[in-house]
Amino acid sequence: METIASVLTSTNWSPYAAGIGIGVLSWFSFLISGKPIATSTSFAQTSGMIESMISGEKAKQRPYYKKIKLRINWQWMLVVGVVAGSFLSAIISGDFQVGVWVPSLWASAFGEGALLRVLVALAGGIILGFGARFADGCTSGHGISGTMQLAVSSWISAIFFFIGGILTAHIIYYFIA
């Protein structure tokens, strides 16, 4: 018999259950906090905080960091929460990964080398972080929260996220590999 406990400890839910859950979560995020769920600005704030720890005032004077404000706020804590929530779900469902450097799909095409995967992840992260700030949003801020508000900027962004992503993934796996 399915109990609440067995639902919480199952590894995978139907994607529709997870998606509807995220939709309901965003109702409450608007109602309680007056904000949409979004994540990528927090990474930019973090990079600014790191720069200001190293070089002080210079970072705080950058127009972009002045615009987004280098402080720990609601959204920054939300990203911390995502790490914690995913950890919690992974632990209780026995899916926490130990010592996994190379995802199996990557390994099937490019081998088990951890260094190559980490360097490619670094390069991908740089492009992703830059693009997220260029577009002023990511898969959560534009792709989920913006599109559900029917924002024109978010629908355009989300469509081009997938155009860029689908083309690049095909190049990586069908031309380079």
Partner 1 sequence: MEQKNKVAETSKDEKNLVAKEDKRPLFFGLGFGILFGFLLHKGGVTNYNVIVGQLLLNDFTVLKIMLSAVVTGMIGIYFMKSLGWIELSLKSGSFGMNVIGGLIFGVGFAVLGYCPGTIAGAIGNGYLDAVTGGLAGILLGTWIFAIMYPGLKDGILKKGDLGSITIPRLLKVNDWGVIIPVAGLIILLLFWIERAGF
Nearest distance, CB of residue 96 and partner 1, angstroms: 5
Could you identify the residue written with the tokens 């509807």?
Answer: 20
CB of residue 62 vs partner 1: minimum separation in angstroms?
Answer: 5
Which residues contact residue 40 at a Cβ distance below 8 angstroms, ignoring those fewer than 6 apart?
Answer: 129, 132, 133, 137, 138, 140, 141
**Shortest distance, position 1 Cβ to partner 1, whole Å:** 20
Which one-letter amino acid corresponds to residue 173?
A: Y
Q: Does 175 bind partner 1 (CB under 8 A)?
A: no
Give Cα separations from 122 to 27, 49, 86 (angstroms): 34, 20, 22
Of 41-70, binders to partner 1 (CB under 8 A) are: 42-44, 46-48, 50-51, 62-65
Spatial CB neighbours of 97, under 8 Å, sequence gap ≥ 6: 90
Q: Which residue from 1, 5, 15, 57 is in contact with partner 1, where contact means CB under 8 A?
A: 15
Interface residue with partner 1 among 1, 5, 53, 122 (CB under 8 A) is 122
What's the closest the beta carbon of residue 111 comes to partner 1, in angstroms?
Answer: 14
Q: Which of 1, 4, 5, 31 binds partner 1 (CB under 8 A)?
A: 31
**Interaction between residue 88 and partner 1 (CB under 8 A):** yes
77-98 per-residue burial string, b: 16 or more CB within 10 A, e: under 16? ebbeeeeeeeeebeeeeeeeee
